[in-house]
Structure 1
C-alpha cells in the first residue's frame, strides 16, 4: 500500500491528503456539536469521519492539534465569507458596512450549526494559548478592516472615532450572536441583523441614514 501511495503523482497525493484533512475537520465540528469540546477526541472525530483513529493521528498528531486546526478553519471560513461580501459591496464605505452586517447574520456565519462551535472554542481561549493565538490572528485583521472603513467614512474626524465605531460594531454583532446562541427563540437572525444596522444608523445618522 505504501509503495502504491509513493508511486502516485504528487498532485494526486496532495489532493487525497487535502480531502482527508477536510473530512476530518468537518468531522471534528460534528463531534463538538454532538459531544462538546471536552469530550471530543481523535476517536470521536475518526468515528464521525468513518476513518480509523490512526488516520486522524497521522494528519493531526493529537487532539490539541486537531482542535486548533478546526478553530483555524472556522475562522478562515468566516473570513472568506465576510471578505467576499466586502468585495461584492463596492467602494462605498456605507455599503461595505451594510454588507458586513448582513454577512455577520448569514447562516454561514452564525447559523445553528456554527454558533455552538464559536462558543465552545471561545470558552477555552484564556486557558488554551493555541486557541488564543489563532483567534488573535484573525480578529486583528477583522478589526483593521473595520477601522479602515470607518476611517474612510469619518474622513477628517479624530482617529479615535473610527476605532470606537469599529469596536461598537463588533460589540453589536457579538451581543446578538450571544442572544441567538443562548435564547434563539427570542430573536431571529434577520431581526438581529436589522436591529444591529438600525443601531449603527442611530450612532451615525448623517453617514448611514440613507437606504443601503
Structure 2
C-alpha cells in the first residue's frame, strides 16, 4: 500500500492561505499603479503575483471583490501606521498631534504607488458605494484622533471651533497628497510635512514650540 502524504495541519493551511491572499493584494496595488483602476483585472493581478488567474478567482471571486478588499487592506495599513505613531507619542497632546501629521507623510504611506492607489479609488467613490463606505469607516477613526488631540490643546474652545480645526488639519495634508500625486517633481514629502506643521503652529498656538522644533529636526 502506497503511503499517502499527510494533510497539512489546519494552522499551516491557514497561514499559507493568508500569505497567498496578501500576495494577491500586494499585486493589486502594483497593477493599479501601473494600469489604473479600470484596466486592473484578475488577470493583471495574477500576472503581477506570478500566479494563475484561477487562484485569484478562488480567493476573491471577482474583480469587484478583489478591489474592495485591496482598498480595505490599504486603509488598514494606513491606520496601523498612525496608530503606531500615536502609541509612540505617549499622552502629550502636542506630541500626539505632531505624530498624526508625521504619519501622513511617512514613506510607507506617502509614496508614488500609494498615492496612485488612493486617488484611483477616491475618484470612484461616487459610483461605488462600497469604496465610500470603507473610506468613511477608516476616516472617522483618524479624524476623531485629530479632534481629540485638538480638544486637549484647545481647552475652553467652542466644540465647533475644535471640530473645524481638526478638519482643516486633515484637509491640509490631503491637499499636499494631491500635489505630490499630480506634481511629484515640484514637491517633496519632507517639504509638505514642514509646511503642514507650519500651518498647525498658526491654527493651534499651543503647539507652536513643539511644531517648530519638529520642523527644525526634519
Query: What TM-score, normalized by structure 1, do the two folds share?
Result: 0.95
Runs of 4+ more than 4 Å apart: none
The match for 2:97 is: 97
Asked if 1:85 is matched to 2:91, the reply is: no
The match for 1:211 is: 210
| Mapping for residues 39-188 of structure 1, pairs under 5 Å | 39-188=39-188
Structure 2, unpaired ranges of 5+: 212-218
**1:106: how far off?**
1.4
Alpha-carbon displacement from aligned partner over 1:63-93 (angstroms, at most 9, x marks no partner): 0000000000000000000110111011111
Distance 2:106 2:44 in 1: 29
Distance 1:4 1:196 in 2: 59
**1:4: how far off?**
6.2
Structure 1, unpaired ranges of 5+: none
Distance 1:4 1:30 in 2: 36
SS of residue matched to 1:106: coil
The match for 1:32 is: 32
**1:187: how far off?**
1.4
Q: Give the root-mean-square deviation of aligned CA atoms.
A: 1.3
The verdict on how the C-alpha distance between 1:178 and 1:4 changes in structure 2, with shifts beyond 3 A counting, is farther
The match for 1:189 is: 189
The match for 2:215 is: none
The verdict on how the C-alpha distance between 1:4 and 1:113 changes in structure 2, with shifts beyond 3 A counting, is farther
**1:211: how far off?**
2.8
The match for 1:13 is: 13
Alpha-carbon displacement from aligned partner over 1:9-32 (angstroms, at most 9, x marks no partner): 110110011000010000101111
Distance 2:175 2:39 in 1: 27
**1:202: how far off?**
1.1
Distance 2:33 2:167 in 1: 29
Distance 1:208 1:147 in 2: 14
Alpha-carbon displacement from aligned partner over 1:152-188 (angstroms, at most 9, x marks no partner): 1112221112101110010111110000000112211
Query: What TM-score, normalized by structure 2, do the two folds share?
Result: 0.92
